[in-house]
Chain A
Amino acid sequence: MLRIRRKFTPYLFLFIPVAIYLIWVIAPMGYTFYLSLTDWDGISSPSFIGLENYEKLFRDKVFYLSLTNNLKWLVTFITVPVVLGLGLAMALNETIPGEKFFKMSFYMPMVLAMVVSGLIWGWLYHPRGGLINFVLETAHIVEKGPGWLSNRDIVLWSIIIVAIWRQVGYVMVLYLAGLKSINPQLLEAAHVDGASGWRTFWSIILPLLTPVTVIVLVISVIDSLRAFDLVSVMTRGGPANASSVLANFMYIEAFNNYKMGYGAAIAVILFLLSLAFIILYLYRVMQDEMEY
Chain B
Amino acid sequence: MKKGYFRSPWRVLVYVILVLSTFLWLVPIFTALITSVRTYDDILTNGFFSLPERITLQNFATAWNRGGLNRYLPNSFIITLPSLFLTLLLSSFGAYALARFRFKGNRLFFYTFVGGMLLPFQVLLLPVFRLTDALGLYDTYWGLIGIHTAFQLGFCTFMLRNYMRTVPGEIIEAARMDGCTELGIWGRIMLPLTLPAIAAVATLEFTWIFNDYLWAIVLLRSDQLKPITAGLATLQGQYVTDWPVIVAGALVGTLPTLLVFLFLQRYFIEGLTLGSTK
Contact A119 B47 (CB under 8 A): no
Q: What does the 1/0 interface line of B225-267 toward A look like (CB < 8 Å)?
A: 0001100110010000001001101110110011011000100
Q: What does the 1/0 interface line of A246-285 toward B look like (CB < 8 Å)?
A: 1100110011000010011011101100100110011001
26 A-B pairs within 8 Å (CB atoms) are namely: A10-B98, A14-B93, A17-B157, A18-B94, A21-B112, A23-B131, A24-B131, A27-B127, A91-B14, A91-B17, A94-B5, A107-B265, A108-B261, A113-B213, A116-B253, A119-B250, A120-B247, A134-B47, A174-B273, A178-B276, A212-B277, A215-B276, A226-B120, A228-B213, A263-B126, A266-B122
Q: What does the 1/0 interface line of A90-114 toward B look like (CB < 8 Å)?
A: 0110111100011011111101111
Question: In this assembly, does A292 line the interface, its C-beta being within 8 Å of a C-beta of chain B?
Answer: yes
Question: In this assembly, does B175 line the interface, its C-beta being within 8 Å of a C-beta of chain A?
Answer: no
Question: In this assembly, does B149 line the interface, its C-beta being within 8 Å of a C-beta of chain A?
Answer: yes
Question: In this assembly, does A32 line the interface, its C-beta being within 8 Å of a C-beta of chain B?
Answer: yes
Contact B211 A25 (CB under 8 A): no
Question: In this assembly, does B182 line the interface, its C-beta being within 8 Å of a C-beta of chain A?
Answer: yes
Contact A126 B111 (CB under 8 A): no
For chain A, which range describes its interface: under 10, 10 to 19, 20 to 34, or 35 or more residues?
Answer: 35 or more
Min CB–CB distance B255 → chain A (angstroms): 10
- Enumerate A111-145 residues with CB–CB distance to B below 8 Å: 111-117, 119-124, 126, 128-129, 131, 134-135, 138
Question: In this assembly, does A28 line the interface, its C-beta being within 8 Å of a C-beta of chain B?
Answer: yes
Within 8 Å CB of B157, what residues of A? 17
Q: Which residues of A contact B (CB under 8 A)?
A: 6-7, 9-11, 13-14, 16-18, 20-21, 23-29, 31-32, 35, 88, 91-92, 94-97, 101-102, 104-109, 111-117, 119-124, 126, 128-129, 131, 134-135, 138, 165, 168, 170, 173-174, 176-178, 181, 211-212, 215-216, 218, 222, 225-226, 228-229, 232-233, 246-247, 250-251, 254-255, 260, 263-264, 266-268, 270-271, 274, 277-278, 281-282, 285-286, 288-289, 292
Contact A232 B119 (CB under 8 A): no
Contact A17 B93 (CB under 8 A): yes
Interface hit among B19-27, B52-60, B192-200: B19-27
Min CB–CB distance A258 → chain B (angstroms): 11
- A113-B229, A178-B276, A260-B126 in contact; A274/B120 too (CB < 8 A)? yes
Question: In this assembly, does B85 line the interface, its C-beta being within 8 Å of a C-beta of chain A?
Answer: no
Contact A232 B213 (CB under 8 A): yes
Min CB–CB distance A224 → chain B (angstroms): 10
Q: Which residues of B contact A (CB under 8 A)?
A: 5, 14-15, 17-18, 21-22, 25-29, 31-32, 35, 40, 43-44, 47-49, 90-91, 93-94, 96-98, 101, 103, 106-107, 109, 111-116, 118-128, 130-131, 146-147, 149-151, 153-154, 157, 165, 182, 186, 207, 210-211, 213-214, 218, 228-229, 232-233, 236, 243, 246-247, 249-251, 253-254, 257-258, 260-261, 265, 268-269, 272-273, 275-278
Contact A285 B114 (CB under 8 A): yes
Within 8 Å CB of A278, what residues of B? 115, 118-119
Min CB–CB distance B4 → chain A (angstroms): 9
Interchain CA distance A17-B112 in the complex, whole Å: 12
Contact B257 A120 (CB under 8 A): no
Interchain CA distance A188-B204 in the complex, whole Å: 36
Contact B277 A211 (CB under 8 A): yes
- A13-B97, A107-B269, A113-B211 in contact; A120/B28 too (CB < 8 A)? yes
Interchain CA distance A32-B214 in the complex, whole Å: 17
**Chain A residue with the shortest CB-CB distance to B133:** A42
Contact A24 B147 (CB under 8 A): yes
Interchain CA distance A11-B106 in the complex, whole Å: 10
Point out the residue from B14, B21, B154, B251 that lies within 8 Å of A25, measured CB to CB.
Answer: B154
Interchain CA distance A17-B269 in the complex, whole Å: 26
Contact B122 A18 (CB under 8 A): no
- A116-B254, A129-B44 in contact; A271/B123 too (CB < 8 A)? yes
Within 8 Å CB of B213, what residues of A? 113-115, 228-229, 232-233
Contact A31 B127 (CB under 8 A): yes
Contact A270 B5 (CB under 8 A): no
Contact A129 B48 (CB under 8 A): yes
Point out the residue from A114, A233, A274 that lies within 8 Å of B119, measured CB to CB.
Answer: A274
Interchain CA distance A228-B49 in the complex, whole Å: 33
Contact B22 A96 (CB under 8 A): no
**Chain A residue with the shortest CB-CB distance to B147:** A24
Contact B232 A13 (CB under 8 A): no
Contact B101 A20 (CB under 8 A): no
